[in-house]
Amino acid sequence: MIRYLLDLHRRYLLAWLCAEIAFVMLLIFIATQGPRSRATSRSTYSSSRILAERLAEPTHIQPATYQGDGPFGPRQKIAEFPAGVDWLNTKNSLKLSDLKGKLVLLDFWTYCCINCMHILPTLKKAEAEFEKELVVVGVHTAKFETEKDTENIRSAILRYEIKHPVLNDSEHTLWNKLGVSSWPTLVLIDPEGYAIWANGGEIPYDDLQSVLKKAVAFYKRKGTLDDRKVHFDLVELTAQPTPLRFPGKVIADPPTQRLFISDSNHNRIVITKEDGTLLSVIGSGRVGAEDGDFTKATFNHPQGLAYLNETLWVADTENHLIRRIDLRSKQVSTVAGTGKQTETAWPGLNFNATVPKKLIRNPLSIPIGSPWDLWIHEDTLFIAMAGPHQIWKMDLEGTGIAQFAGNGREDIVDGKLIPKKTYEEGYSSFAQPSGLTSDGTWLYVADSEGSSIRAVPLSGQGEVRTVIGTSKLPQNRLFTFGDVDGKKEKALLQHPLGVGYRDGKIYVADTYNNKIKVVDAKSGDVETVAGSKSPGNTDAPALFDEPGGLTVAGDLLYIADTNNHAIRVFDLNTNQLRTLAIAELKPPKSEVRPEDLKLPTDGKRIKVAAQALQAGLSTAKITVRFDCAEGWKLNPLADFPVTVIQPGFANMNSRTSVKADGNAIEFEVPLPEAEEQTLQIAIGYFYCQTDEQGLCLADTVILDFPLKRNTGAENSGLTLRVPVEP
């Protein structure tokens, strides 16, 4: 969104002289439709002012708050985290002082925001590379009313697979203290509790990596960096497996009575009969972008689907790809995208470049951004491209791809489809389009961030119009939402993600209202069909939890009830709801990859005296007791990864995970027939202070010992001991 704001409000570009660091920084004052804007481009700046947007208020920053220089110049003292707020992904509330000695990276996000989703892979890379020095803390500051709810944030944490602590800053307390005004925003805090760097908008990993390397080197030299790995009680540790995991979209093919389901968090596509009989599973379940047969292919949180003539197209959202599935040959191939997220709505063009009349290119040569839904009309595949806020099109043969509607600005603006220059005003704008359907003349779009339903002429002639939504408002178009039925002039939606068309009616998955609504395609009048404002998971009464997609098949609505991990079926004649049972569907099995079967390089090694076991055993039970220092205990919620390496017997190598029972863990090891062998067992373990503090420490131990078996031995298992010192 910053690209939009930069172009729209360049008159606010300021220069601000920072006397403390003796150089001039050019910073951007963001003027938006409301106090809480969205950021999509990069603007990195020193902590000499936490956010550039506040530089128009010179009294907001007090020079007295700076104490000493950091690696990027003067520092700013940060107050404690707000008291009385909910925390997730940690057992108890955290204080900033609990993290003394660590670099702390605050990530201000809201779970509807596509740019916040884009930055998560960057944060995951940073957490992996700097696991000893860095702690990421998510600061969830809601845009939509429903996003303030802690349980909804818990679902979002599971859906986005976030593995760091998150505080619910529902009242924007920390947001306001730091002067934050865009999602996402990163603020880096040093081991002594001072802000040293900040960034508004998305940031490439190389740029963030450079910042963190400089900070790590600086504080290591200073001697204030604590390099012990920390561990938190993640929400996922208590989550129960489900056959479907956050299904995003569902489509139907009535002639063959089949359903196609994007099982998004299982990274696969599920095909069933309309009665729930399982037909096929496409994808191994691993995250990846591998083409091939149904068992080999991999996806990354796929969303939208489109079907025609035994071919299925998939919006492979987090891979930034379009995939094609040949249902006859059972092969998956990639037909659009490079696998790299586009950084602009006009890949290949410079900012403000003239747009060619026919912007048609090889689909495999053009980076795309978070494709969220698909629709086929005649020989064209239309794509809801959520990342660059546009509608794209591609021919079904895969020979060309082009922008179809939207100037790339994130907004709800009607008008002509495509501008002559990139981001040009006076043309249509979308805001994270996430659902598509059609009546054959108009392409109807669930424009989620503007809580609107838009209509785009499929012919390419005419203008984009708003069926229901905020386009007529002079301001706050992205921040006007609600749950109001009735006439178009007063009706309100809240972040709809899915649409389906039938007989002049547009059925809407009004996601953040937990409802299914129907919109008259001509008048724009809105009526609730099923659901209640409160989330739930019952058929009678009909309750949903953030439904993300729907499809119309005759008199039935098939609904991807995302947070309930289910497909729901609503009968438009009887107004009855039922939950589709897919009896044979199981969660994907976790695969042990070759890289999982390597010993870690940073674990402490303990050589154990030779052990004796009974002859003839095919397995042995290993008990490892951890002798914890006083005031410490093993974390009973954590999964302890155990890797067993048997040099010379590669087929016996294994990887598993177990939970602690008290201060011990148990697992079984397969054994070869050899009388003598060597065992190497690597165990990742997590231990916490007994005073119920919110964080735990993490470490790895590698046990090396020779193993003999003879007829005189009585042992069928082994007990080993590991000292634990913080």
Mean pLDDT, all residues of the chain: 88
For the chain, give every residue range classified as CATH 2.120.10.30. 250-343+361-579
**CA nearest 679: which of 592, 603, 599, 617?**
599
Predicted pLDDT at 368? 96
| Distance from the first to the final alpha carbon of the chain | 45
For the chain, give every residue range classified as CATH 2.60.40. 597-724
Q: What percent of the chain has pLDDT over 90?
A: 76
What's CA 619's distance to the chain center, in Å? 40
Predicted pLDDT at 30? 26
Per-residue model confidence as pLDDT tens digits over 694-719: 789 999 999 999 988 876 777 788 89
Say if residues 232 and 635 touch (Cβ distance below 8 Å). Answer: no
For the chain, give every residue range classified as CATH 3.40.30.10. 2-238
Q: DSSP code of 563?
A: G
Say if residues 496 and 453 touch (Cβ distance below 8 Å). Answer: yes
- The residue length of the chain stands at 726
Predicted pLDDT at 357? 62
- Reported for 344-348, long-range contacts at CB under 8 A and 24+ positions apart, including other chains, are 344/3, 344/388, 344/408, 344/422, 345/3, 345/388, 345/389, 345/390, 345/403, 345/406, 345/407, 345/408, 345/422, 345/423, 346/388, 346/403, 346/408, 346/422
pTM over 0.75: yes
Per-residue model confidence as pLDDT tens digits over 233-252: 999 998 999 999 999 999 99
**CA nearest 139: which of 164, 109, 161?**
109
Q: Which residues contact 221 (CB under 8 A, 6 or more apart)?
A: none
Q: How far from 227 is each of 135, 191, 220, 540, 639, CA to CA, in Å?
A: 11, 11, 9, 53, 22
Q: How far apart are CA 87 and CA 140, in angstroms?
A: 10
Token reading at 145: 């009313």
**CA nearest 410: which of 470, 350, 366, 338?**
470
How many CA atoms are closer than 13 Å to the CA of 726, on its beta-carbon side? Answer: 17
The phi, psi pair for 266, rounded to 5°, reads -95, 5
Residue at token pair 């043969």: 397
**CA nearest 196: which of 164, 171, 224?**
224
Provide the strand spans (E) within 511-635: 515-520, 526-531, 549-553, 556-561, 566-571, 576-579, 604-607, 611-614, 619-628, 632-634
Per-residue model confidence as pLDDT tens digits over 186-196: 999 999 999 99
Q: How far from 264 is each of 282, 304, 372, 523, CA to CA, in Å?
A: 12, 10, 11, 34
Query: Which has more confidence, 153 or 343?
Result: 153
Based on the number of CB atoms within 10 Å of its own CB, is 380 exposed (0-12), middle (13-18) or buried (19 or more)? middle
pLDDT band at 359 (very low <50, low <70, confident <90, very high): low
**CA nearest 371: which of 418, 319, 423?**
319
Q: Is 351 helix (H, G, I), strand (E, B) or coil?
A: coil
Tell me: pLDDT of 1 over 60: no
Per-residue model confidence as pLDDT tens digits over 367-394: 999 999 999 999 999 999 999 999 999 9
**DSSP string covering 511-541, please?**
GGGTEEEEEETTT--EEEEEE-SS----TTT
What average pLDDT does this structure show over 203-232? 95
The CATH classification of domain 597-724, taken from the options 2.115.10, 2.60.40, 1.10.10, 2.60.120 = 2.60.40
Predicted pLDDT at 170? 96
Q: Which residues contact 712 (CB under 8 A, 6 or more apart)?
A: none
Predicted pLDDT at 711? 67
Say if residues 513 and 533 touch (Cβ distance below 8 Å). Answer: yes
The CATH classification of domain 250-343+361-579, taken from the options 3.10.129.10, 2.120.10.30, 2.60.120.10, 2.40.30.200 = 2.120.10.30
Q: How far apart are CA 392 and CA 402, in angstroms?
A: 6
**CA nearest 366: which of 344, 333, 390?**
344
CATH tag, 2-238: 3.40.30.10
Per-residue model confidence as pLDDT tens digits over 499-514: 999 999 999 999 999 9
CB atoms within 10 A of CB 459: 9
Helices (DSSP H) in 268-344: which residue ranges?
Answer: none
Query: Which has more confidence, 214 or 49?
Result: 214
Tell me: pLDDT of 557 over 80: yes
What average pLDDT does this structure show over 27-43? 35
Q: How far apart are CA 590 and CA 655, in angstroms?
A: 10
Per-residue model confidence as pLDDT tens digits over 613-653: 888 888 899 999 999 999 999 999 899 999 999 998 888 89
Per-residue model confidence as pLDDT tens digits over 317-354: 999 999 999 999 999 999 999 999 998 888 877 666 77
Strand partners, 281: 270
